[in-house]
Structure 1
Amino acid sequence: MALLSAREALAFPGGDNSSDTIINDVHLNLTTLSHWNYTLYSNGSLSNGSWCLLAFRPYMPSYVLPNGTFLNVTWCWTPTKPIDVRGGVAVGYAVLFGIALVLTLVALNKHGRLHLPVEKRFYPIGRRWQWYWGSWVCATAMISLITSIDVDRYFLPELPVILSSFFWYLMQMGTVALVWEAVRHWGSWMERQFIDPDPFTLRDDDRRSKVEFYLPLLFYLFLWLNFFMIVPRNWEPVQHQRYPQQTLNDAAPTATDSRFKAGAFLLAVCWLITVYSLRHSIKYYCPRNRGIFNRITGFFRYTPLRFMLIIPLVAALVTYQVLVAFRFEYSPLKVGGLDAAIFAGGYTPSLLIVYIQAVFGFINPNEDLELQRQRRVRHQALDREMGIVYKPSWWRRVNGEVLDPNASMRDRLLRNVREVQGNKRPAPGTEIPANAADGAADVEMTPVSPALTSPRPPGPHSERYRGRSDRTRQQAAIDRVAGLPLAQREELMMDGPPPPSYTETLSTGPSPQVPGAARSISAQSSASTNQPPQQIRSMLDV
């Protein structure tokens, strides 16, 4: 803890004796105060360099012990003052940023939702980053503003001014990143619309693609350099603003050192990269203009209204940060600084940018839904060119092509049966067996029509085949058997008497009128038993 200046030190007032002093009608042991090196200062504090306590009513301690302990003490690092103008305005800004946070989350839910399959070239997180950074800006701004309430309420400046300044710089970084992501994603959205009709319109290895690959890396390089220039430092000298000389010696040089100046200019480079990214997207995805003046006119013509508003605002934000890096009296790091400059240049641009983003987030449609609409428009145009006319929506309902959501599984299976048979609806007076759907449900297949189990009508192979083709002869035999009733097919497959021998067939011969006559004659004749055995002459006799 830094000491107050010696020029503001006061002598202890006299008391009842040489070892007594009266401060605000309270008797304290002067010997104990001198032993522990306590000094009374003109601002009403009593300090020994390590401890500081308030020595005015109603915070005056009531007694001091010989070991230097005070009773009913109030330390100097206590918010004892009422809320000042800076604290009151900070409360209002904190409420506005809280509302903006809710709107940002609603917009994130709207634009971050997917309605199309994810494409490798366009990841969903790319469209969500601007809303992530918007949430970051609102959260850091609220922390900075809430801690700003105690900046002027503390008797001696301490931790609140450090927290307020720390999160203020984080809010500035988030705002610049928010605008960058909005501009970058707009270029990505333009590219997606450009290649959706023809994916091979743009090359993947040209100058355009390389610039779009390296620009984000370059932007975040300078943004993180700004972070490392500002955040990782010793913030304790910022709170050394307990009297004017200490402010000039410690706080002002720290708030305007070379690192703060370098960080401000790095933020300006990030702004220039954002503007170049916007110009790059307009050049490749919007109609081209010839000539310098036409290009300038086209740049402002094709820039979306949202960017016409937020890019100048972020430029004002960067300008203010450069200003406070050189002029400490306008900085939010100064206790009791110029409130109008702090809120107008430090918080208002970020607040307006977040609200503009939220308003356009509610106006603009989801990108997947918009892409689906563009595809429908293109398909309708192609159908008109080809002369394709689609039937109205009521046509399917009239013709029974719309499924009833309350229909049972049996009704759906019967509808499938009718479609297989070529009938979308049953003929008047036709009854469908009740067990047809049950059997189909058992095997999870369409039930077999009764017409398929009846005898088949004569086909092209119904008559006996007289040709030489074995395949056709086999098919004709199969067709004849398939066309027979089930009882006849079973009778054909039954085992019957053996065929007659070769000698009996040669001796008697079959009767052409009566089938099986040779078998009956050979059974009644005794010639086969009286004659000598047949001599086998060749393999044909076996």
Structure 2
Amino acid sequence: MMHQVRDVLAFPGGDNSSDTVIGGVHFNLSTLAFWNYSLYTNGTVSNGSKCYLTFKPYTPVFLFPNGTFLNATSCYSPVYGINMRAGVGIGFACLFGLALVLTLVNLTKHGRLHLPAEKRFYPIGRRWQWYWGSFVCATAMISLFTAVDVDRYYLPQLPIILTSFFWFLMQMGIMALVWEAVRHWGSWMERQYVDPDPFSLRQEGRRYWVEFWLPLIFYLFLWLNFFMIVPRSWTPIQHQRSPEQTLLSAAPTATDVRFKIASFFLCVCWLLTVFSLAHSIKHYSRPHSLLQALKSIPLRFVLILPLAAVVPAYQALVAFHFAYSPLRVDGDKAAIFAGGYAPSLLILYIQAFFGFVTPNEDLELRRQRRERGVALDQEMGVVRKPAWWRLASGDVLNPGRATSGESMRDWLTRNARQVVGERPRTDVNGTSPDGVEQDAGRAPVNLEMSPLSLAASHPNHPPPQYTGHSEARHRERTLELAAEVLFPHAQGILAEERERRRRELMEDGPPPPSYLEATREGGRYQDHPSGGAAVGSGNPRSGSVGGQSTRSTAGQPIQVRSMLDV
């Protein structure tokens, strides 16, 4: 639809020289002339600042002396129906809305962490492509929905500016999406390399610095494209109310040097994306020939990189030819949707499809680790039991406590049962928490946690701190103190267990005397049939009394004849 031509007409005559009839309504001609109103061939009356429709059913009913029309309709009102640009735009907007839902689903899937975050691979790096996808969908829908009023407005005004502004933002967003997809693929390849061997790819050298500076250069050119387009006067774009006005105002603005340079910057962004893909293939796929390098390109990039090339190409086209530009009110509809919106929409759907068919990176990394573990076990001849074996054999204590309904008291009771070697009782009837009846002759054992002061006041409580030099004994005393704090009433059972173990150890006889004791007795060790030790140095010595050697004060000092004596 071509908007109305604005040529000045003379006011038609009325009943007298001060009267004119417009749309069947009489107006004061003197008032119209005083307020500088003019009548145009497109059915409007305007004085340069205000514009009103004069054809039925939008004709004003009265003109006040102050130049105000009663019941008037502005020229910039949606009086037309939905045309081709608006109808197709609504369809594209719905498709972009569906793409937004798919993008958010993929963001949730691939942005979720299943492994601890690594400083070298930030979690936000994998999410940027989905963030940019959401940005593209939002700007595209705003641009397409505002394009509805481009067709419906009688004279073009704000809608053509809004649809053009957000269309340019969509173009920048789709280039950033493709860049982040390619860049993150290289980062994912690097992560798979360094996971088995963190020192295989060091963060230094030419590869590291190229990957460091390349994103900065890309976003530099992308923002240059933004600053060439956005910070400018957009008012001349809406001056398309007649062919002369379009030729003199709108077309020169839409094809000026800034739009041409902006398309060049966007083309540089695409070339940097291709270079990033080649860099990642060189260092992570490591092909030996050009054919292998081409085969190493993922199918996703084979599809989206040519579509991304259409974006700067079409932007350069409209910077030189205004007839195919979305900035033109009656521009070529096929070119606008095929070159301006369709490539971005296809890239979004390709991204969403491959996002659904590929797993989360953390889960994939865990699978690769399991495969490496299985391969190493096979090389070493280790056979791992399946996961259900531990549950069946009882190796796992209380599996699924959170879902079985077992309380913390029951869980502590099961731990105490393993410590003391028997089933503890928790009530006076001799019944355990799991329903098994205990011996009636034993008193119930209360395993509730008590304060440290209560455990320290127990009569069997040993010194709270070991002051010797043995680290092993120090750790043992620390563990005993912790057990006394958690289970203060089980000390009697533990004391009995310690005494039983001491009696078992003493059944084989006392240990031999230390080197210092032998030195004081003035002799050297000799095997003794009773399991003790006798000292022979020329002086007689009495045997063991009560299983222990007596010390002699009359013995001569030991004479060391060789290192064997020591």
TM-score by length of 1: 0.80
Report if aligned partners of 1:175, 1:350 keep a CA contact under 8 Å in 2. Answer: yes
What residue in structure 2 maps to residue 457 of structure 1? 503
Distance 2:390 2:159 in 1: 70
How far is 1:394 from its partner? 3.5
The one-letter code matched in structure 2 to 1:212 is E
CA pair 44-458 structure 1, distance change in 2 beyond 3 A: closer
Report if aligned partners of 1:414, 1:437 keep a CA contact under 8 Å in 2. Answer: no
What residue in structure 1 maps to residue 389 of structure 2? 395
Number of aligned residue pairs: give it.
463
Distance 2:73 2:153 in 1: 12
What residue in structure 1 maps to residue 446 of structure 2? 438
CA pair 42-207 structure 1, distance change in 2 beyond 3 A: same
RMSD: 2.8
What residue in structure 1 maps to residue 361 of structure 2? 367
Report if aligned partners of 1:410, 1:437 keep a CA contact under 8 Å in 2. Answer: no
How far is 1:402 from its partner? 3.1
- 1:196-211 alignment runs, 5 A limit: 196-211=195-210
The one-letter code matched in structure 2 to 1:39 is S
The one-letter code matched in structure 1 to 2:203 is D
Report if aligned partners of 2:5, 2:42 keep a CA contact under 8 Å in 1. Answer: no
How far is 1:5 from its partner? 8.4
What residue in structure 2 maps to residue 225 of structure 1? 224
What residue in structure 2 maps to residue 248 of structure 1? 247
Report if aligned partners of 1:413, 1:437 keep a CA contact under 8 Å in 2. Answer: no
Report if aligned partners of 2:256, 2:319 keep a CA contact under 8 Å in 1. Answer: yes
Corresponding position: 1:341 with 2:335: yes
Distance 2:104 2:517 in 1: 75
CA pair 150-188 structure 1, distance change in 2 beyond 3 A: same
What residue in structure 2 maps to residue 485 of structure 1? none
Consecutive unaligned residues in structure 2, runs of 5 or more: 425-435, 451-484, 520-566
Distance 1:26 1:202 in 2: 84
The one-letter code matched in structure 2 to 1:301 is K
SS in 2 for 1:53: strand
1:431-485 C-alpha deviation (Å, 9 max, x unpaired) = 5987665246443149443642656527559979996867799xxxxxxxxxxxx
Corresponding position: 1:380 with 2:374: yes
- 1:250-329 alignment runs, 5 A limit: 250-289=249-288, 294-295=289-290, 297-329=291-323
What residue in structure 1 maps to residue 190 of structure 2? 191
1:271-309 C-alpha deviation (Å, 9 max, x unpaired) = 0000000000000000321xxxx32x2232111111111
Distance 1:434 1:305 in 2: 74
Report if aligned partners of 2:285, 2:296 keep a CA contact under 8 Å in 1. Answer: yes
CA pair 225-190 structure 1, distance change in 2 beyond 3 A: same
Distance 1:43 1:401 in 2: 90
CA pair 424-331 structure 1, distance change in 2 beyond 3 A: farther
Distance 1:466 1:119 in 2: 57
CA pair 460-360 structure 1, distance change in 2 beyond 3 A: same
Corresponding position: 1:125 with 2:124: yes
The one-letter code matched in structure 2 to 1:284 is H
SS in 2 for 1:268: helix
CA pair 115-461 structure 1, distance change in 2 beyond 3 A: same
1:182-204 C-alpha deviation (Å, 9 max, x unpaired) = 00000000000011000000121
Report if aligned partners of 2:5, 2:241 keep a CA contact under 8 Å in 1. Answer: no
Report if aligned partners of 2:156, 2:240 keep a CA contact under 8 Å in 1. Answer: yes
Distance 1:454 1:461 in 2: 13
CA pair 180-471 structure 1, distance change in 2 beyond 3 A: farther
Report if aligned partners of 1:9, 1:40 keep a CA contact under 8 Å in 2. Answer: yes
CA pair 51-464 structure 1, distance change in 2 beyond 3 A: closer
Distance 2:34 2:438 in 1: 117
Distance 1:352 1:245 in 2: 38
1:26-78 C-alpha deviation (Å, 9 max, x unpaired) = 11111111111111111101111221111110111111111211111111111
Distance 1:335 1:461 in 2: 106
1:65-111 C-alpha deviation (Å, 9 max, x unpaired) = 11211111111111111111101111111111111111111111111
What residue in structure 2 maps to residue 52 of structure 1? 51
Runs of 4+ in structure 1 displaced over 3 angstroms? 406-425, 428-437, 439-443, 445-451, 453-456, 458-473
Consecutive unaligned residues in structure 1, runs of 5 or more: 474-542
The one-letter code matched in structure 1 to 2:334 is A
SS in 1 for 2:320: coil
Identical columns (%): 61
Distance 2:306 2:177 in 1: 14
Corresponding position: 1:235 with 2:229: no
What residue in structure 1 maps to residue 143 of structure 2? 144
The one-letter code matched in structure 2 to 1:438 is N
What residue in structure 1 maps to residue 555 of structure 2? none
What residue in structure 1 maps to residue 84 of structure 2? 85
The one-letter code matched in structure 2 to 1:259 is R
Distance 2:49 2:13 in 1: 25
Distance 2:204 2:243 in 1: 61
Report if aligned partners of 1:39, 1:46 keep a CA contact under 8 Å in 2. Answer: yes
Report if aligned partners of 2:413, 2:447 keep a CA contact under 8 Å in 1. Answer: no
The one-letter code matched in structure 2 to 1:88 is G
Report if aligned partners of 1:400, 1:424 keep a CA contact under 8 Å in 2. Answer: no
How far is 1:152 from its partner? 1.7
SS in 2 for 1:151: helix
What residue in structure 1 maps to residue 558 of structure 2? none
Distance 2:270 2:168 in 1: 16
